[in-house]
């Protein structure tokens, strides 16, 4: 099995556990990761973000392995369209 098929077979739940381990240095149950495990976990999280996840985070990794930073305007536009339920003006209230 190659790395692409491994990354694509990860469930969102497993990805969240990997992301937690990469950011905290331990698994959700409290078991610490060795330095080698943490480095591999970070790489796997980056590969998942690049190949599978359609992330709206400010910093992500693209398909070529390059870090992508979204502008403030791009983030505002995404959050505006994703989170808007209703919009009212003062005279509507």
pLDDT per position as a tens digit, 9-45: 889 899 889 988 888 899 999 999 999 999 899 888 8
| Mean pLDDT value across residues 82-88 | 57
**pTM score, two decimals?**
0.58
Residue 68, Cα to own-chain centre: how many angstroms?
A: 12
Q: Answer whether residue 66 shows pLDDT above 70.
A: no
At 60, is the pLDDT very low, low, confident or very high (cuts 50, 70, 90)? low
State mean pLDDT over 49-63: 66
Give the C-alpha distances (Å, rounded to integers) separating 5 from 9, 16, 22, 35, 93.
6, 18, 21, 25, 53
């Amino acid at each position: 099995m190659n790395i692409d098929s491994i990354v694509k077979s990860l469930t969102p739940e497993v990805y969240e556990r990997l992301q937690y381990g990469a950011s905290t240095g331990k698994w959700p149950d409290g078991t610490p990761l060795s330095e080698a495990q943490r480095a591999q976990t970070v790489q796997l999280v980056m590969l998942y973000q690049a190949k599978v996840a359609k992330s709206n985070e400010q910093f992500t990794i693209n398909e070529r392995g390059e870090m992508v930073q979204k502008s403030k305007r791009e983030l505002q536009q995404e959050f505006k369209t994703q989170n808007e339920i209703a919009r009212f003006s003062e005279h509507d209230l």
